[in-house]
Chain A
Amino acid sequence: METLLKVDGVSKKYGGKLALNSVSLRIGPGRIVGLLGSNGSGKSTLMRIAAGLTPPSAGSISVLGKPVGKETRSLISYMPDLPLTESWMRVKDAVAFYRDFYADFDLEKAREMLDFMSLKENDRVSSLSKGMGERLQLTLALSRQVNLYLLDEPIGGVDPVARGKILDAIVRFYSEDSSLIVSTHLVRDMERIFDEVMFIQDGVIVLHEEVESIRINRGKGIDDLFKEVFGE
């Protein structure tokens, strides 16, 4: 099986603090992977490094065999935990921004997703609620036809109704040839969509396993295992 994302011994230091400690992993195509950990565990740092926004302090990372950089930006769609839109924009401006910069942007899919998400093209981005803003960010990220989607806390801070809608959209609109890595600490809400999960604790991947394997071999759900590993 072809490796989509390959991370080899990646470490990241911020000053004296070690945010990632020699992380290695492989992600194949057609998978929805949960990157799970408590706040400050290194999830966002790993996502930012994979997206090419932050260089690692040590180790290497590649997408489809290409080292992460300008070239891999067209292979990855990254939804950070901060808005990708600008306050002056209307929804249609945000869509136009993506269409202008990303040749792989699928306008038809974006319109279909906007409709599914109950977003109107003339809505002002600055007037959207947190939940609606997240729906827009997800629409923009998933409307690109890429090999790897990175979603950093896509349901962080949104109400249960919006969470359900966002999860439904992920399942419905993500391309099955691609892979999707979703970082979150809201395990109970999201575990139903994962094929495999990675637990990250203090910058170290402490578990990387298929969801089915966890359920069969350990006899427990992801949320229960998460509480067991991260419980204080």
Chain B
Amino acid sequence: MIKLLKYDLKRNATLLLGGMAILLLCEFVLLWSRATDEVKIVLSVLFFGAVAVIYFISSLRVFDYNITTVSRRLVPVGALSYVGASLLYGLLNSLVLTVIGAAFTAYMVVNLGGGFSWAGQIPVWAIVLIVVEYLFLLVYGFLTFYVTIALARSLVTKGVFWIGLLIFIVLTIVLSYVEDFLFGQDSSALFGSVDLEWSSQSGVLARELPGLLSAWQTWGSIVFEGL
């Protein structure tokens, strides 16, 4: 699995390193520019979004490449190694991008005006829970797409994209329906394990620090997705 990952990274090194270099360059230019804070935040989100999309597509292409090309299918490894290597590739890229994004966000929070001092008050357990759920979402998301690609590849040789899209839509609707039926909520809510609320009280924006959302529906839904 690690050997497959090594060659996946080598094969896509130009794309990954090039994308990262361009992103960092754009971000630094943006930070040192005279643009307003709002413009900096919006452009920064756009830059990260663009690279995230490119990396995400690359991750899906890696899985597709591993299960379709003769050179990869001939190597004496188990079927799960292809999934594991592709998943690690996707997670690794996502996490590197997340860490860089978090660093820029922290810099902006500290340097682009106040209003974010509450961020330091988030308890450690909530941060851990958010990170765990983020990882879970990444794994769940990638695996859902891998299942879609594998199914589409096994069904047709032409029009794989459209069949894959159809399978993905059906899969998403069915899962949402089952979750809604079982737990009264679907998987569309992100970071459902931590409850952080903002509300307007007498014209002043107030917030409630994170609390553990203990509803069994939320955790049941997460466990269901995990299964």
Contact = CB atoms under 8 A, between A and B. Distances in A.
Q: How many residues of A sit at the interface, in one of the four size bands?
A: 10 to 19
A84 interface: yes
A117 B39 CA distance: 59
Contact of B70 (A53, A100, A101): A53
B115 interface: no
Secondary structure of the B side of the interface?
helix
A78 B71 contact: no
Nearest to B78: A70
B114 interface: no
A51 interface: yes
B65 to A, nearest CB: 9
A102 interface: yes
A74 B78 CA distance: 13
A82 B70 contact: yes
Interface stretch (A16-24, A85-93, A219-227): A85-93
B156 to A, nearest CB: 11
B174 to A, nearest CB: 28
A42 interface: no
A84 B7 contact: no
Given A88-B10, A97-B7, A74 B76 contact: yes
Interface in B27-82: 70-71, 73-78
Contact of B11 (A74, A78, A82, A86): A86
Contact of A80 (B6, B70, B75): B70
Interface in B88-133: none
A101 B3 contact: yes
8 contacts: A53-B73, A70-B77, A73-B75, A86-B11, A97-B7, A100-B3, A100-B7, A101-B77
Given A53-B73, A97-B71, 8 more contacts: A70-B78, A80-B70, A83-B71, A84-B70, A100-B3, A100-B7, A101-B3, A101-B75
